[in-house]
Structure 1
Amino acid sequence: MTFRMPPEWAPHERTWMAWPGPNPTFTDDRELAEARAAWAAVARAVRRYEPVTMVVGPGQSEGARELLGAEVEIVERELDDAWMRDIGPTFVTDGEGGLAAVDWVFNGWGGQGWARWEHDSKIARHVADLAGVPVLPSALVNEGGAIHVDGEGTVLLTDTVQLGAGRNPEWTREQVEAEIHARLGTSKAIWLPHGLTGDYGRYGTQGHVDIVAAFARPGVVLVHSQKDPAHPDHERSRTYAEILRGRTDARGRTLEVVEVPAPTVLKDEDGEWVDYSYINHYLCNGGVVLCTFDDPNDEIAAGIFRRLFPERTVTPVDARTIFAGGGGIHCITQQQPKV
């Protein structure tokens, strides 16, 4: 039986999320409260379009319910952190009504010193059990934010993630591709050399692709574009666009690249380069939940998404608090395809 990962724009049964709890990502009560408010805003936005299930730590349901409202389903399981895209399963379908969950090895984004993953490494199986689907285990250290598919055989990957020393030091590129293709039903991998500069900071993922590039439909890929030469991502984003413009997908189509301008802000309050990106959006049934940053380019990005997805409603959600923790809207959501 052959399974494949449907593209994000395919119909969803529901969205899975994980609730922020006390952990090293949120260092004090204020940060935790801000994170919970931000996660809740995303959950409520997604719930406009499809069901949402929030996994929360034991004993945290009451507080979560106050922020989430009655329409978001809540289930309790042990958690370390709150990035469901990475700790949860990657759902795949067999084309005949069957659904399964790929369980990648999760090791705290390459075994980073601040990270904990005793419980998060088991969340994919918990979610699969709650969804009532079989688990397809993989020996590859990988996260959901490190892959993006077009649904027709093409997958985007990053050298510093799947081939990074903290994840799969003994694997060759060919071995990684073989495992990815076997689990996702893809046949062609397009590798980018690295992620955005800010993604290599304290809470960074070391190069996740879902903040850099994402398919909008087969043959069309969105790419982060930093226009300001003062930011080190200026050259990086030019490299991404050049690589992708020169590539074909699994069906032999030359990729059309749509550059999405980065927000105008360059550094955060601590003087660190930001990796704010509109690429880290989430497609749900009839909607686009779009990261915004109280920035002049928010509306420019929204206009790009409205043109690309005329059948979907663009819903903006302020993502600055989420990015401060190391990710964005795509990073905290995980789709379960409808079969």
Structure 2
Amino acid sequence: MPNTPAADGFRMPPEWAPHDRTWMAWPGPNPTFGEEGGETLAEARRAWAAVARAVRRFEPVTVVAGTGRAGGARELLGPGIDVVERPLDDAWMRDIGPTFLTGGGRLAAVDWVFNGWGAQGWARWENDALIGAHVAHLAGARTYTTPLVNEGGGIHVDGEGTVLLTETVQLDPDRNPGWTRAEAEAEIHAQLGTERAIWLPRGLTADYGQFGTRGHIDIVAAFAGPGVVVVHTQPDPGHPDHEVSREAAEILGAATDARGRRIEVVELPAPTAGHDADGQPADYSYVNHYLCNGGVVLCGFDDPMDERNAEIFRRLFPERRVTLVDARTIFAAGGGIHCITQQQPTV
């Protein structure tokens, strides 16, 4: 039997632990962003660059660009951001990259199986399936493989033994056919060094649309400290996420973590703009933030709720500077700021 990270003394630290750097991937032509030279791809690159520059104020950033695209990436990203080239299909580093672990003064990484968010018809993943191993190697991490199909956006940990999951991701028959809940949970614990899982039944409604992930946890709920979870809240009873978010808050509020603490739920009210530019229900969510050294990079939607949520994060993280970055272009492609970033923790 091969050793697991947990058996070897590794665990995934919480996102608020110190980072050595942030990893991102650069948008290229594909079904999500359209063709080279098109406005959709140009908009995506500007949005990704804005996030990279916001994070760079707090810590080093390395962007993986597709073959032959490093020059264009450097031009838009500006000075002080490292760029490396590897073959790429898409640009969601949270999902295609490795999950970094620490233990005993060493860095390790889990290289999950990636299959295009459950082998979705539009997705391409021949290159992205290899990015986790590439990034782990570049970071000098000991790499562990697993048979579990999973993405970084499908997990959130407190660093003290607890992990948040959704049933429609790890138990998706197009990701892990035949896996039971107990088997998936045991494999997650073996890879992350966790011991208690809190399962939510589903993600936000729009995340089951064309470019969705089918229920990633990181737009629904996230740990903001030991025993504290921020949860997306949709106050509009006519919005399909009203019931989804109510159910999530109820489950989390009744749960205890691995240390036996009752979970404190902090509600993050959704933007007043509950629909996207096409009039469809949106999954705009302030939960999908990114913590970096001394900072919080928060999704903005040019909405009155932006500042209200920024104030909640200032209270949660008084020692960090909160930066709002417009995330509407990123959400239109299927994710948010957390989805395009991946932390490499300090050993």
Task: Work out whether the TM-score is over 0.5.
Answer: yes
Alignment-derived partner of residue 6 in structure 1: 13
**Counterpart-to-counterpart distance in 2, 1:270 and 1:303:** 29
Q: 1:19 aligns with which of 16, 26, 36?
A: 26
Work out the number of aligned pairs and report it. Answer: 338
Alignment-derived partner of residue 170 in structure 2: 162
Alignment-derived partner of residue 134 in structure 2: 126
Alignment of 1:239-254 (within 5 A): 239-254=247-262
| Pairing 1:204–2:212 present | yes
Q: 2:80 aligns with which of 71, 78, 92?
A: 71
With structure 2 as the length reference, what TM-score do the two structures score?
A: 0.97
**Counterpart-to-counterpart distance in 2, 1:278 and 1:133:** 31
| Pairing 1:225–2:233 present | yes
**Counterpart-to-counterpart distance in 2, 1:142 and 1:246:** 26
Quote how far apart the aligned CAs of 1:331 are. Answer: 0.1
Quote how far apart the aligned CAs of 1:93 are. Answer: 0.9
Quote how far apart the aligned CAs of 1:2 are. Answer: 1.6
Cα deviations by residue, 1:156-204 (Å, 9 ceiling, x for unpaired): 0000000011111210001001100000000000000000000000000
| Pairing 1:41–2:50 present | yes
Which aligned segments of 4 or more residues in structure 1 are displaced greater than 6 angstroms?
Answer: none
Alignment-derived partner of residue 4 in structure 2: none
- Contact 2:26 / 2:66 at 8 angstroms: preserved in 1? yes
Amino acid at match of 1:147: I
**Counterpart-to-counterpart distance in 1, 2:143 and 2:314:** 36
With structure 1 as the length reference, what TM-score do the two structures score?
A: 0.99
Secondary structure at the residue paired with 1:215? strand
Quote how far apart the aligned CAs of 1:271 are. Answer: 2.1
Q: Unmatched 5+ residue regions in structure 1?
A: none
- Contact 2:53 / 2:77 at 8 angstroms: preserved in 1? yes
Alignment of 1:58-207 (within 5 A): 58-94=67-103, 96-207=104-215
| Pairing 1:216–2:224 present | yes
- Contact 2:61 / 2:82 at 8 angstroms: preserved in 1? yes
Q: 1:303 aligns with which of 302, 311, 315?
A: 311
**Counterpart-to-counterpart distance in 2, 1:169 and 1:335:** 29
Q: Unmatched 5+ residue regions in structure 2?
A: 1-7
Alignment-derived partner of residue 322 in structure 1: 330
Amino acid at match of 1:2: G
Give the % identical residues. Answer: 74
Secondary structure at the residue paired with 1:6? coil
- Contact 2:108 / 2:144 at 8 angstroms: preserved in 1? yes
**Counterpart-to-counterpart distance in 2, 1:103 and 1:329:** 21
Alignment-derived partner of residue 5 in structure 2: none
Alignment-derived partner of residue 3 in structure 2: none
Q: 1:56 aligns with which of 50, 62, 65?
A: 65
Cα deviations by residue, 1:21-59 (Å, 9 ceiling, x for unpaired): 001101241000000000000000000000000000111
Quote how far apart the aligned CAs of 1:267 are. Answer: 1.4
Quote how far apart the aligned CAs of 1:230 are. Answer: 1.3
Secondary structure at the residue paired with 1:274? coil
**Counterpart-to-counterpart distance in 2, 1:228 and 1:334:** 32
- Contact 2:109 / 2:136 at 8 angstroms: preserved in 1? yes
Secondary structure at the residue paired with 2:249? helix
Quote how far apart the aligned CAs of 1:70 are. Answer: 1.6
**Counterpart-to-counterpart distance in 2, 1:88 and 1:268:** 28
- Contact 2:231 / 2:266 at 8 angstroms: preserved in 1? yes
Q: What RMSD in Å do the two structures reach over aligned CA positions?
A: 0.6
**Counterpart-to-counterpart distance in 1, 2:243 and 2:293:** 35
**Counterpart-to-counterpart distance in 1, 2:120 and 2:61:** 30
Quote how far apart the aligned CAs of 1:309 are. Answer: 0.3
Quote how far apart the aligned CAs of 1:62 are. Answer: 1.2
**Counterpart-to-counterpart distance in 1, 2:208 and 2:343:** 26
**Counterpart-to-counterpart distance in 1, 2:119 and 2:12:** 26
